[in-house]
Amino acid sequence: MSLSKEDLELLEYVYDQADGDLDESVDVWSTFERERWGAIARRLQNADLIKLASIADDYKITAFGLNFVSELRAKRRNGPARMNALRLALIHWLYDHYLEDTHPESTEDFHTSGHNLHMGRPFEDRELLQAISYVLTARLVDGVQVDQSRHLFRPFLTPKGVDCAESEKTVSDFLNPPPATGPTFNVRIDGSQNVVVGTQSGDFTQNSTSGIDPEVLARITHFANVARQGISSYGLEEDQQVEVEQIAQDLEAEATGETPDRGRLRRLTDRLVEAIAPAAGSALGGMVMALGEQASSAIAG
């Protein structure tokens, strides 16, 4: 599901006002201008996140909407994931300037860039300063340091920082590559040489009686894992990242459950491929989509 920043603002307002009560009617239009927000409310209603409560156009949160916002906020509270996303966003921001052969005046300018959001929420300056200290110590970035300020002036990527950006890995994985476990999983794209995209665990077990080949389930689980791990590198909007994360989680849960359903696996696999499609132009996005297409073919049998 693809939600914009404005979609989330209205949805979370209804969520907060309802305070967990599915029967609570929320007056939206005393706070939001109908002319501007009416289309957004209808979009949320069509997505079954909210529903009309009365002819007065009050709204109620749906069970799906309640669960959606609860999970979204839980992800926002994941400190390590948020900091990892910020470090990579900082690298990508400077990489954009590297490609344009320009330098921002200060790392403070990051706050006004399109990279300053995670799960619909902007990063705080305190968090940014921590990320700057980390990537500076790791020699991924450099710049002028002035007394009385922890920000960098005229910041830029070092050659190592450029390598990090182009590796399409998280900063942590770039600096500390995880050891490979299990056989490598190769993808062939447009007749090119095989490209390794992560590994498929060799100890995957599936004790269900679904009749689905365990190797197929392992392939699907691997696709879901790789798709989720690459979220921050696809160049997707925040709402698109949330959608990929949710579908990947649902797909992995279905594939590793006791009684996976072939039809649901096929639908979720196709939805995940579709969600990643906007990133198909990137090397990583194209490779992950190829993984998805292979998984889709495998489950189709």
Domains of the chain: 5-76 (1.10.10), 79-175 (1.10.10.10), 184-300 (no CATH)
Give me 35's structure tokens.
């002319």
Give me the amino acid identity at 182: G
Query: How much is the pLDDT for 210?
Result: 58
What's the rounded mean pLDDT across residues 173-187?
A: 62
Residue 193 — pLDDT band, cuts 50, 70, 90?
Answer: very low
Query: How much is the pLDDT for 301?
Result: 65
Phi, psi of 49 (to 5 degrees): -95, -30
Q: Is 106 helix (H, G, I), strand (E, B) or coil?
A: strand
Question: CA-based angle 242:244:250, to the nearest 5?
Answer: 100
Prediction pTM value: 0.50
Average pLDDT, the chain: 84
Query: Model confidence over 164-177: pLDDT tens digits?
Result: 999 988 898 899 87
Query: How much is the pLDDT for 207?
Result: 44
Q: Measure Cα distances from 202 to 32, 198, 216, 217, 277 in Å.
A: 53, 13, 13, 12, 28
CB distance 170 to 84 below 8 Å = yes
What's the rounded mean pLDDT across residues 288-298?
A: 87
Percent of residues, the chain, with pLDDT higher than 90: 41
pLDDT surpasses 70 at 198: no
CB distance 187 to 195 below 8 Å = yes
Residue 229 — pLDDT band, cuts 50, 70, 90?
Answer: confident
pLDDT surpasses 70 at 9: yes
Query: How much is the pLDDT for 178?
Result: 62
Range 149-156 contact pairs with CB under 8 angstroms and sequence separation of 24 or more = 151/106, 151/107, 151/108, 152/106, 152/107, 153/105, 153/106, 154/103, 154/104, 154/105, 154/106, 155/94, 155/103, 155/104, 155/106, 155/107, 156/94, 156/97, 156/98, 156/103
Query: Model confidence over 200-214: pLDDT tens digits?
Result: 444 444 444 457 888
Of 26-35, 50-59, 171-180, 183-192, which one has max mean pLDDT? 26-35
